[in-house]
A and B are shown apart, each in its own frame.
Chain A
Amino acid sequence: MNERLRGSVVLAIVGVIAAAFHARWGIVLSIIEKAVSSSQQGLPFLGVGLGYRRELHASIYAHKQSIDWLEVISEHYTQGPPERMATGCHLARDFVVIPHGVEMSIGTEGEVDSGYLNGLSTFVNAIHPPWFSDHLCFTRAGGISLGTLTPLNRTRAVARAVAAKAQRVQELIGVPFILENIARQFTMNTELSEAEFICEFLEHCDCGLLLDLTNVYINSVNYSEDALRFLDSIPSDRVVQIHLAGGKTSPHGLIDSHSSPVPGEVWELLDYLLRAGAEPKGLMIERDQDYPEDFDEILTDLNRARNILAAAMTSN
């Protein structure tokens, strides 16, 4: 029995005993159901955060009270000289810091690189994040380092293999691990849809989902997919964190460039998801290029996320 199930069963048993004691058998089933699906509930609620980039350092510290937490790119701190890790630790003294990897390449056939995991483990142990994240994709294969998030062959077998590997990574690091859906730059006629693949993956591990709503939107535009149907299809109780960003338009479609304010369509998806009952522990604005001269542009996105979250919590 995995950790998630074990914890959930304990919760369910406690609930069942309490309900039975009060002879309220009608709610026993719902308690069991809720407990089994609430593996993410032990995680703290972080609020609305921002992706840390060196270019934004001064503005982040100048508006510290408006930023609930930071997400950092893991590899910026785990690769290279040790003082980089010290920089990450310095940030963690002032903010809750979530490490977000781009090069674990969990989807690559075979095991995850042990040197990579050692570096990540050291960093996680140094900053004590409530969870850490990476992407549901591969970035390396056949001796090639693509350096970009590449879609997987979406089959049940691949979903289960990646789930087993993610579970091992989570157990090794000792902190909840969540994985992010990517903006696909190409697509193949695979056995499963993306939503089906994510469901299959989540069903076979205890990891959470980092739902990038901008990627959902971009895929829906570039491949004529139904974004709302996608959101309806994934288990919303497994959504731990949400990414929000703005992309750019090219002659070939939308690009996930994190270079502009979050577009209206993505805000609508957030509103839809939250009103449908998702209870993420953290929302985050990503901005990686074309940094605005006026940091208010980013603060506006942070506040809008906060308002949508508050409105959904009130109405739910």
Chain B
Amino acid sequence: MGLQAAIAHVLVDDELRRQLVTQPEKIQSQFVLSAEEMRLLCSSNPSHLDRMSHGIRAKRLDFLEKGLPCTVRAIGRQVLVEFARLTIPRTEAEEQGRVLAEARRFMAFVQNLPNARLPVYLRDLGEFELNRLELGSMIAAPSPATSQALSDESVVCLVRHVRICKFQFDVVALTESEDVSIGAPPAGSTAVLLRKDPVRGIVETYRIGESVYAAFSLCTTPRRLSDLYLSIAPLDTDAESRRSRLFESVRCALEKGILTRETA
């Protein structure tokens, strides 16, 4: 442990800052500080530490807002304050940058909140924005990718530059709304295809119909769409209708440029 660790923990933990004033011996014991280190730590002005702590939280919320702008707008200030106060910014989550780290922490945080404290569409909206953010950051698909229960029937299907997601609520309309916190949430399940333009690095969102969603949701492990395409291309058109829909969906997506063939 030591002085630096003590400073870092004190700055992100209200209780430790209180203890530093009321029971400094506990801090000394917890962080194994020498008498000199303890003298140094106690020489800092508590109000300055508080101020810096608030600054750290404000900065974290700035990062969160960059990553999940609509989600942050849709949620009450109290939840954001709690998030910044109750979650610890651990170093291990930082390798892809602060914006993604805070977005992931936040979505993990809201999963454990009672439904009554959140707008009904909040988890969908957050997962939609997080998927966009992760795709933009080129995070590899979990291997093997599995159907994840985002809302009850949401499924994430991953290939290198593409994700397919389905949500209970119309997340596209929510993100396009001027103020997502006002008015009734757009109803109806929405399937979207997120595609990262590998050259420009921009993540594009396409609404997709049931047949396209059904086609791509068959692809529950990360695999190249070209493989998928080649594997179904020779299929007899008289084969079962689902395979036919799959073929048509992929062909249309390729023709429209939503998807591109990838060569190994």
B161 vs chain A, min Cβ distance (A): 11
Asked whether any CB of chain A lies closer than 8 Å to the CB of B77, the reply is no
Which of A75-83, A202-210, A227-235 touches B? A75-83
Asked whether any CB of chain B lies closer than 8 Å to the CB of A303, the reply is no
Query: A residues within 8 A CB of B4?
Result: 107-109, 138, 141-142, 153
CA distance in complex: A109, B4 (Å): 8
**A82 engages B55 (CB within 8 Å):** no
Give which listed residue, B3, B6, B8, contacts A146 with CB less than 8 A: B8
Asked whether any CB of chain B lies closer than 8 Å to the CB of A144, the reply is yes
- Secondary structure at chain B's binding surface: helix, strand, loop or mixed? helix
Residue of B nearest to A250 (CB): B51
In residues 35-76 of chain B, which contact A (Cβ within 8 Å)?
Answer: 37, 39-41, 43-45, 47-49, 51-52, 55-56, 59-60, 63
CA distance in complex: A81, B132 (Å): 13
Asked whether any CB of chain A lies closer than 8 Å to the CB of B137, the reply is yes
Asked whether any CB of chain B lies closer than 8 Å to the CB of A140, the reply is yes
**A144 engages B60 (CB within 8 Å):** no
Asked whether any CB of chain A lies closer than 8 Å to the CB of B165, the reply is no
**B200 engages A83 (CB within 8 Å):** yes
Asked whether any CB of chain B lies closer than 8 Å to the CB of A189, the reply is yes
CA distance in complex: A252, B48 (Å): 8
- Secondary structure at chain A's binding surface: helix, strand, loop or mixed? loop
Write the A164-189 contact mask toward B (1 if CB under 8 angstroms, else 0): 00000000000000000000011111
Query: B residues within 8 A CB of A79?
Result: 95-97
CA distance in complex: A80, B134 (Å): 10
Query: B residues within 8 A CB of A59?
Result: none
Query: B residues within 8 A CB of A144?
Result: 5, 8-9, 11-12, 88-91
Counting contact residues on chain B (CB < 8 A from A), the size range is 35 or more
In residues 230-253 of chain B, which contact A (Cβ within 8 Å)?
Answer: none
CA distance in complex: A83, B94 (Å): 19
Asked whether any CB of chain A lies closer than 8 Å to the CB of B207, the reply is no
Query: A residues within 8 A CB of B39?
Result: 189
**B52 engages A186 (CB within 8 Å):** yes
Select the residue from B2, B5, B8, B43 with max chain A CB neighbours within 10 A. B8
Asked whether any CB of chain B lies closer than 8 Å to the CB of A84, the reply is yes
Query: B residues within 8 A CB of A81?
Result: 136-138, 201
Give which listed residue, A140, A142, A148, A190, contacts B59 with CB less than 8 A: A148
B29 vs chain A, min Cβ distance (A): 15
Write the B95-125 contact mask toward A (1 if CB under 8 angstroms, else 0): 1111011000000000000000000000000
Query: B residues within 8 A CB of A190?
Result: 40
CA distance in complex: A190, B88 (Å): 28
B56 vs chain A, min Cβ distance (A): 5
CA distance in complex: A81, B200 (Å): 11
B187 vs chain A, min Cβ distance (A): 35
Query: A residues within 8 A CB of B92?
Result: 143
Query: A residues within 8 A CB of B90?
Result: 143-145
**B88 engages A185 (CB within 8 Å):** no
**B97 engages A75 (CB within 8 Å):** yes
**B56 engages A188 (CB within 8 Å):** no
Select the residue from A103, A138, A147, A187 with max chain B CB neighbours within 10 A. A147
**A142 engages B51 (CB within 8 Å):** no
In residues 104-140 of chain A, which contact B (Cβ within 8 Å)?
Answer: 107-109, 115, 138, 140
CA distance in complex: A83, B52 (Å): 34
Write the A245-276 contact mask toward B (1 if CB under 8 angstroms, else 0): 00000001000000000000000000000000
A280 vs chain B, min Cβ distance (A): 29
**B201 engages A84 (CB within 8 Å):** yes
Query: B residues within 8 A CB of A108?
Result: 4
CA distance in complex: A146, B54 (Å): 11
Write the B184-211 contact mask toward A (1 if CB under 8 angstroms, else 0): 0000000000000001110000000000
* Given A81-B137, A145-B98, A187-B44; 14 other pairs, CB 8 A cutoff: A75-B97, A84-B201, A108-B4, A141-B4, A142-B9, A143-B92, A146-B8, A147-B60, A147-B63, A148-B59, A153-B4, A185-B55, A186-B44, A190-B40
Q: Which 7 pairs show the lowest CB-CB distances between chains A and B?
A: A142-B5, A83-B201, A186-B48, A141-B4, A189-B43, A144-B8, A185-B52
Can you spell out 7 A-B residue pairs with CB atoms less than 8 angstroms apart? Answer: A79-B97, A81-B138, A108-B4, A109-B4, A144-B90, A187-B45, A188-B40
